[in-house]
Structure 1
Amino acid sequence: QRVALVRANLKGHDLGAASEDIDGMIRSLNIPSDFAVDLAGQNREMALSFKSLRFALLLAIFLIYLVMASQFESLLHPFVIMFTIPLALIGVVFSLLLTGNALSVVVFIGLIMLVGIVVNNAIVLIDYINRLRRKGMAKLEAVKEAGQVRLRPILMTTLTTALGLLPLALGLGEGAEVRSPMAITVIGGLLVSTMLTLVVIPVV
């Protein structure tokens, strides 16, 4: 079987977007049925990395849930806290669209980091609500009190984390184009998750 190899290097484009462009061009061609086109090299390695990172993301979510379930001695409260993860994903999608970044291995690593970060705000809020409830306060009053008391610490934690990652997101320094999407992922997910957490989690 004859094989023709076409090699190329990327400059100014990420691998995922370039692979999608090439796939689109290949589909637009009338390739005979006895011909086969396969994208190999780093594209194949990236596909394998995505599989590993998807498993790592699910494992991280599961382990976080187990830790919270053991600490809260409840299956319900950790489940409520886990609502912050899909809220964070909304921020990730918007931040990637606004900055023009595609889903990549670095973004996935940022997602795994984000899963461990975004639950902290909800933990602080739920823990304080539970503390007030144990003192005999009514549920609605406990939610209002916790929202007021924990608002400032939650906002301070979010802002310090986001500002700490800002230099990476701005692409400062050598090799920043690799690190920037990861920082953008964490910042976008964290900011949106924090705003929605203060509204959604007490309601849930």
Structure 2
Amino acid sequence: AFGSQTIDITVKAPSEETLTAVTAAIATAVTETKSADSVTTSLDDTQSYISISIKRKEAARYALSEVLIGRTLTGLIAPTAIGQVVIDDVTMDLIVETKNSPDTLGELRKFKLTTPLGGTVLLSKVATIGITETAASRTTERGVLSASVAVTPTSDNLSESTAAVNAALASVTLPSGTTATVGGVSQDQVESFQQLGLALLAAILIVYVVMVATFRSLRQPLLLLVSIPFAATGAIALQIISGIPLGISSLIGLLMLVGIVVTNAIVLIDLVNQYRERGGSVIESLLDGTSRRVRPVLMTALATVFALTPLATGVTGSGGFISQPLAIVVIGGLLSSTILTLLVLPALYSLVEGRKERKATRRALKA
């Protein structure tokens, strides 16, 4: 399971207006794809605030500046300490409060400012006052404003949902300096695929090293590793037939198959080598070894397949989203690798080892 259950889109923009517009456009585009149960943004939660925009020309007529008006309003609405006083060894803040400070928007508009010229002027005459809505919270990344769009997919097929989100993202024209990147559960899956891919390569390498030490040959272990592509063929084919999307559980199943399918090949080739050490030819050893190993190899594979059938059919309940893809991959890989191991591997062994035997026979005849 991933830490996040949503596909997240991170939007970065140089201004708040651009950020709001692009985030809304992306959310609308994703919603129209009908591939999401819900689409939410970090800008959905809003809060209201009083907006005061100074009319610079009008304020200049009364010798007022934005700084002076701002300082006056700050002391009016949120008075701060102008000093401290000590009474009976107790230090107290000294705060000057304005009598009859405005409590409503109408009273604020009627508030009279004292000008440097000694007169008064209504605040509404030198400023535009209103209530504006903005995002309840803002985030920045390295000084750039950012917002996020969270998409909850309708389907369990994360690859399909991610493709739909990317298509919706591509349909939105981004202004200059604005970026949008996909993350969340989609990014988690990509990273998990990369890690399991490396683990799969490491497992194949370890298996090869062990077989080289066992068979004391560099060539025969390569023949045995052919069973891995055989297993991958069946695993992918059965997954496509079943309609189960490729996921982390599927890759874990492939990782398990590396050890399972190679075991059958080792059992077969090891017996063939024993017959050859006793003086048998390659063809005779293959025929005898295959005929003796076909039954135990089939029984082992079928036993594993039958044991995993309940998981593959999804009768395990709520845990099926993890166990079902894994079981399907292992069953498909076992079926294909078992059949191909018993048919193709002996042919490859005969081709490689038989060539060595024929060369040795020709040398003996020439001698």
| Deviation readout 1:104-144 (Å, 9 max, x if unpaired) | 11111111011111101111110010010001011101111
Quote the Cα distance in structure 2 between the aligned partners of 1:74 and 1:61. 16
User: Which sits farther off after the overlay, 44-53 or 151-160?
Assistant: 44-53
SS in 2 for 1:40: strand
The aligned runs of 1:46-195 (5 Å cut-off) are: 46-172=189-315, 173-195=317-339
Separation in structure 2 between the aligned mates of residue 60 and residue 129 of structure 1, nearest angstrom: 25
CA distance in 2: counterparts of 1:33 and 1:117, whole angstroms: 53
CA distance in 2, matches of 1:24, 1:159: 43
- 1:14 and 2:157 are equivalent in the alignment: yes
Output the TM-score relative to the length of structure 2.
Answer: 0.53
Change (3 A) 1:26 1:8: closer
Contact residue 312 and residue 325 of structure 2 kept, 8 A: yes
Q: Which stretch of structure 1 is more off in the superposition, 104-113 or 171-180?
A: 171-180
The one-letter amino acid of 2:158's match is L
Q: Deviations over 1:42-75 (max 9, x none)?
A: 1111111111111100000000111111111111
Distance, in Å, in 1 between the alignment partners of 2:174 and 2:152 is 27
Within-5 A mapping of 1:31-46: 31-32=173-174, 34=176, 35-46=178-189
Deviation, 1:12, is 4.2
List structure 1 runs of 4+ shifted beyond 4 angstroms. none
Q: Which has the higher contact order (CA 8 A, sep 6+)?
A: 1
- Look up the match of 1:202: 346
One-letter identity of the residue aligned with 1:194: T
Aligned length: 203
The one-letter amino acid of 1:146's match is G
Please state how far the C-alpha of 1:169 moved relative to its aligned partner.
0.8
Alignment partners' CA distance in 1, 2:206 and 2:175: 47
Q: Partner letter of residue 188 of structure 1?
A: G
CA distance in 2, matches of 1:11, 1:24: 16
CA RMSD of aligned residues (A): 1.5
> 1:75-102, CA deviations, whole angstroms, 9 ceiling, x for partnerless residues?
1111110000011111012011101122
The secondary structure found in structure 1 opposite 2:179 is: coil
CA distance in 1, matches of 2:165, 2:157: 12
Query: Which is higher, the Rg of structure 1 or of structure 2?
Result: 2
Partner of 2:55: none
Determine which structure has the larger strand proportion and give its number.
Answer: 2
- Secondary structure, counterpart of 1:24 in structure 2: helix
Unaligned runs of 5+ in 2: 1-12, 14-18, 20-145, 349-367
Residue ranges of structure 1 left out of the alignment (5+ in a row): none
